[in-house]
Amino acid sequence: MSELSPAAELAAAASKPYPGDSAEYRRARTALLAEEIELRRHIERVARQRRAMPLGGEARGYTFRDQDDAVLQFADLFGEHDTLVSYIWMFGPQRPRPCPMCTAFLDAFDLPSRSITQRIGFVVIGRSPVARQLAFARERGWRDLQFFQCIGDEFARDYRALGPNDEEMPALDVWVRRDGRVHHFWAGELGGTEDPGQDPRGAPDPTPLWNILDLTPGGRGTDWYPQLR
């Protein structure tokens, strides 16, 4: 990789005032722009490190049900692809309604899944029957997400979506298929690592909701969460 120009130099060259900017504002914005350039570079470094990871453990023989109640093997969820992203959402049989945070996450991926699935597989896995998941999807207006039910709780337990007391957690995982075998590649493991005063969050956070709020003066707030209605 060629040597990168210093972020401060790039920021100074790119920083242009908007109408009414004060000198104080423009100085602060230029300094922030340098930090944003460094952040972008850090994100790319982390992405390269992630892509270079070796394969994780081979998945056990988990089975799933589709919307036609057919029993599928894990490898079947990949479709034509060799990479799969799965999201286990908090909508188990005991929940009258799904988790609002999981819902907000899936809101952001319904329409983009049309593009995502041109390159990789993308599925939503729940502990409730697929018909129940699809009923909520129709209510919410989702049209393109693919839903599956894990048969039994072993899959959810093994991949940290179900705790010892049956408490549900969301789980975002990446899988690869090699020579007919499914291997775990990556999972969000930041839970419990948040700094004081923070809610759990990704790095970078995949949810557009939080990314947009992070651009604003009020940020995410300290006690606000999206509601189903």
Residue pLDDT, tens place only, 140-168 = 999 999 999 999 999 999 999 999 999 99
- pLDDT tens figures, 111-124: 999 999 999 999 99
The three-point CA angle 100-103-108 to 5° equals 135
Q: Running DSSP on this structure, what letter comes out for residue 2? A: P
Which pLDDT score is estimated for 203?
Answer: 85
Which pLDDT score is estimated for 207?
Answer: 87
**Residue ranges covered by each domain of the chain:** 1-15+23-51, 63-187
- pLDDT of 94 > 70? The answer is yes
- pLDDT tens figures, 168-209: 999 999 999 999 999 999 999 988 899 998 888 888 888 888
pTM score, whole prediction: 0.92
Q: Return d(Cα 150, Cα 126) in angstroms, integer.
A: 6
Q: Return d(Cα 200, Cα 133) in angstroms, integer.
A: 25
Closest CA to 97 of 140, 154, 145, 148: 140
Which pLDDT score is estimated for 24?
Answer: 98
Which pLDDT score is estimated for 156?
Answer: 98
Which pLDDT score is estimated for 222?
Answer: 85
Q: Return d(Cα 127, Cα 162) in angstroms, integer.
A: 10
Q: Return d(Cα 98, Cα 5) in angstroms, integer.
A: 47
Q: What's the mean pLDDT in 42-46?
A: 95
Which pLDDT score is estimated for 158?
Answer: 98
Which pLDDT score is estimated for 204?
Answer: 83
Mean pLDDT in the chain? Answer: 95
pLDDT > 90: what percent of the chain?
Answer: 85
Q: Taking the mean position of all CA atoms in its chain, how far away is CA 2?
A: 31
Which pLDDT score is estimated for 1?
Answer: 62
Which pLDDT score is estimated for 205?
Answer: 86
Which pLDDT score is estimated for 34?
Answer: 98
Which pLDDT score is estimated for 201?
Answer: 85
Closest CA to 102 of 129, 61, 142: 142
CATH top-level class for 63-187?
alpha beta
Question: Which residues lie closer than 8 Å to 166 by C-beta, 6 or more apart?
Answer: 92, 94, 153
Q: What's the mean pLDDT in 21-44?
A: 97
Q: What's the mean pLDDT in 57-77?
A: 98
